[in-house]
Amino acid sequence: MSSVEISSILDNSKELDRLKKEQEDVLNEINKIHKKLQTTPEIVEKSGDALLLKLRAFYVQARDLAENELSVSTTLMAQLDTLMQSAVPAGQQRKKIVSEPKKKRMKADSEVPRHPPATSMRSQLELAAGLKGEQVAARVTPDDAEKDEWFVVKVIHFDREAKEFEVFDEEPGDDEDGGGQRTYKLPMSRIIPFPKRSDPASAPDYPTGKHVLAVYPTTTALYKATVVNLHRKRKADDYLLEFDDDEEDGSMPQRTVPFHKVVPLPEGHRQ
């Protein structure tokens, strides 16, 4: 267990707390407008569409904050799973190798993401269901794959019972099956929502030297990268990144990536 892993978990926990506090502030503003509409409904006629537009803007902000909470929570789940697995001594791991039915049950249990105390299962499911029609980052390779492959996909459906996303790759494939659009069914732990382009303030802010997962320019694939820009002042500013294994003529090029195409690097990422 490294200090970097612990530090990353603490950073994401703080970010989750910040998002929840900001959600509470937005909900308070929404409730104030609701109360005003209930007590003085004639205010709509006096203020015209201004009040309703303001209410709608708060709803959009609340939705975006909720989706960012899901993104950070999903990352925390993966980090905690990795941490718990690494904390189990080898001797205890061997003791868990028992009968076949129990092994199957253990495997099924491991596919259900563990949630940090700050987020309830019900909240997670509601946020996941709200991603329908959105682009997200998805790991399409199985757990036992040699390398993790992450792509930009679009959410078609979320199955609450199975806790599973149905997504499709909007880019035509170049494989042997005709190069059509590929559809996947993936558990929640393999999905990371992107920050909202319309709400940079709610996006995570990655410092210089931080490892992230980002969309490689002109592609729909995500790769591990390191934040290198020193002069990024606003959350809406693009990131300057160095992608792993991207060496050209003996040097590592620095590439510009929009903030809404950068997500936290999952723990245990294999590339």
* Count of other CB atoms within 10 angstroms of residue 67: 22
pLDDT digits (tens, 9 = 90+) for 122-148: 778 888 888 999 999 999 999 888 999
- The fraction of the chain above a pLDDT of 90, given in percent, is 32
Task: Give me the phi and psi of 122, to 5 degrees please.
Answer: -60, -45
Closest listed residue to residue 136, CA positions, set 56, 63, 199, 215: 215
Q: Which pTM does this prediction carry?
A: 0.56
What pLDDT does residue 137 have?
96
Residue 240 has pLDDT above 90, yes or no: yes
For residue 22, what are the contacts with CB-CB under 8 A and spacing of at least 6? 65, 202
Instruction: Work out whether the CA dihedral 253, 257, 263, 264 comes out positive or negative.
Output: positive
pLDDT digits (tens, 9 = 90+) for 50-72: 777 888 888 888 887 887 788 88
Block residue for tokens 């003085």: 40
Task: Give me the phi and psi of 193, to 5 degrees please.
Answer: -65, 145
Of residues 184 and 181, the one with the higher pLDDT is 184
Q: Which CATH class is domain 200-264?
A: mainly beta
pLDDT digits (tens, 9 = 90+) for 84-119: 666 545 444 433 333 444 343 344 444 444 444 444
Closest listed residue to residue 188, CA positions, set 106, 130, 118, 233: 130
DSSP 8-state class, residue 120: -
> Which of the residue ranges 112-116, 151-155, 173-177, 266-270 would you say has the lowest mean pLDDT?
112-116
User: What's the residue count for the chain?
Assistant: 271
At 151, the pLDDT band (50, 70, 90 cuts) reads very high
Q: How far apart are CA 141 and CA 62, in angstroms?
A: 32
* Domain limits, the chain: 3-80, 136-193, 200-264
